Structure 1
């Protein structure tokens, strides 16, 4: 068994890795900013910061607006993923401990793999399904290790809504990436999400005036790195991998969150969290490895 990281596959894999690392860092910064910003205001501030960066890059790169054929996917993914997902997750974390929230949100990659198999013709490869099963088990272990038993029905429902919005958004985003670039599709989605969250503008202005500098900087970081950069690298990977494969890579997030919380917040992980993290990474590795014969016979992807 050999790692499937030929040159044509290395760049999408690297893009997915960048996404995973930045999304993992978001949990730390959401905790910092969430104490001073309400869910809607935090989502709007993050999306507005990301939109400013993305539109600037788009103009500097000389890209035009996305093709008309991509607008449907951009609008739907922008509303569901950039708006509904972010507000629902921010709100859910006010009612759930981090471990339970992470566990429920991690149903997202499972839904992505199932929807991709049914509606995008990606099928249900045994190795992918096995990797998802191992990683989901790891995510459950990480969730149990950090759960304080503070789950509420509203918090769980909001996490389920966020996970479902994420999965459906990926389903409509992937076809849009056939006609538009990752930068165009991501910029469009982020702008749509920002517009959808404008009703929270009053809250954002009021809370930003009272928030400490550290919370405001955390909000800006969330917009620039886990949003502008990470969503673009996600789109780049999604255009070149199956939805199930790129979704499965996000199972590395819980393991990285454990490490980042240890380094940044001084939260020493227990044996259960470490074991769950290893399972998460092991499941991702399973989805990215192929037998040598299949690797040699599969066609070279194009960028």
Structure 2
């Protein structure tokens, strides 16, 4: 991959991480009005509308048949199941516990990608993921409330993490056969179909919801879904699933910083330290090992003495 392509992929991954971090703040706000399934459906429908318009403008056709299996699995697991489970889980446990459990996802992603896709783990990836996971644990413990965590909430967040990891691994092969926009658009559309049973709840809750909550739900569909999922797919097509998963460990640190002005949640020293660990781990996992130049062999081999002809003795 050329240097320019690498920079574009890194930029796309950065956009994804920032927008996904903002989604956690927005979900907590809109989740006070909309139920988990209704919020997931409204978010996905908003994203599909935006993505569909972009596809029409760009004249993107249907993905090839060989890509549909990965798109369908990713749409059901990630766009559909993950979104509902995470929305529901955050209602049952505090944000810190949710962030801690969901961050099992990148670890599962790296293991699944290595096992199923044959991805080779870079030497520094496991170390970077370990540092980031320690940071996520620190953030989770520092932000967790005093009450006990709901077992149902923990199970829901764990199921969301498994669906997230499996969805990404299923999406990776499809990106080799279809464009990032095609994979994202049809994955979100399939996720919306999965969430259609919540259409009645969405219509009922939208009728009495304040405009700010509805706009927040629409923004979730436009930015963290339509835009961020597309930039994610673009970056994932140009790197391994494990490396991309490690990048998302920056999300808890950014959530802490965004919650400060948006929700008035002032982070403590332990929370900031955990966020710094998350970012440090991402930096380590995405760094490359520079091979040392081989030492030149300075041992001189003495030239062989010429054999003297017997007649010249």
> TM-score, normalization: structure 1?
0.94
**Residue 294 (structure 1) shift:** 7.5
- 1:210-259 residue CA offsets vs partner (Å, 9 max, x unmatched): 10011001100100000000000000011001000001000000000000
2:150 aligned to which of 149, 152, 171: 152
**Residue 171 (structure 1) shift:** 1.1
Counterpart in the other structure of 2:169: 171
Matched, 1:95 2:113: no
1:267 aligned to which of 251, 265, 269: 265
**Residue 125 (structure 1) shift:** 2.8
Aligned residues: 292
2:122 aligned to which of 125, 128, 132: 125
Counterpart in the other structure of 2:228: 230
- For the 8 Å contact 2:253–2:275, the answer to whether it is kept is yes
**Residue 289 (structure 1) shift:** 1.3
1:54 aligned to which of 51, 54, 58: 51
- For the 8 Å contact 1:97–1:150, the answer to whether it is kept is no
In 2, the alpha carbon distance for the partners of 1:269 and 1:57 equals 39
Matched, 1:106 2:103: yes
1:185 aligned to which of 183, 192, 196: 183
Counterpart in the other structure of 1:298: none
In 1, the alpha carbon distance for the partners of 2:132 and 2:259 equals 20
Counterpart in the other structure of 2:69: 72
In 2, the alpha carbon distance for the partners of 1:291 and 1:130 equals 13
Counterpart in the other structure of 1:14: 11
In 2, the alpha carbon distance for the partners of 1:203 and 1:115 equals 35
Segments of 4+ in structure 1 off by > 2 A?
A: 4-8, 123-126, 291-295
In 1, the alpha carbon distance for the partners of 2:100 and 2:144 equals 10
- Report the 3-state secondary structure (helix = DSSP H, G, I; strand = E; otherwise coil) of the residue aligned with 1:178: coil
**Residue 264 (structure 1) shift:** 1.5
In 2, the alpha carbon distance for the partners of 1:123 and 1:292 equals 17
In 2, the alpha carbon distance for the partners of 1:231 and 1:203 equals 25
- For the 8 Å contact 1:95–1:150, the answer to whether it is kept is no
> TM-score, normalization: structure 2?
0.91
- Report the 3-state secondary structure (helix = DSSP H, G, I; strand = E; otherwise coil) of the residue aligned with 2:197: helix
Quote the RMSD (CA, aligned, Å): 1.5
In 2, the alpha carbon distance for the partners of 1:22 and 1:292 equals 31
**Residue 267 (structure 1) shift:** 1.3
- Report the 3-state secondary structure (helix = DSSP H, G, I; strand = E; otherwise coil) of the residue aligned with 1:287: helix
Matched, 1:45 2:21: no
**Residue 183 (structure 1) shift:** 0.2
Counterpart in the other structure of 1:253: 251
Stretches of structure 1 that go unaligned for 5 or more consecutive residues are 296-303
2:139 aligned to which of 134, 137, 142: 142
- Report the 3-state secondary structure (helix = DSSP H, G, I; strand = E; otherwise coil) of the residue aligned with 1:179: coil
Counterpart in the other structure of 1:301: none
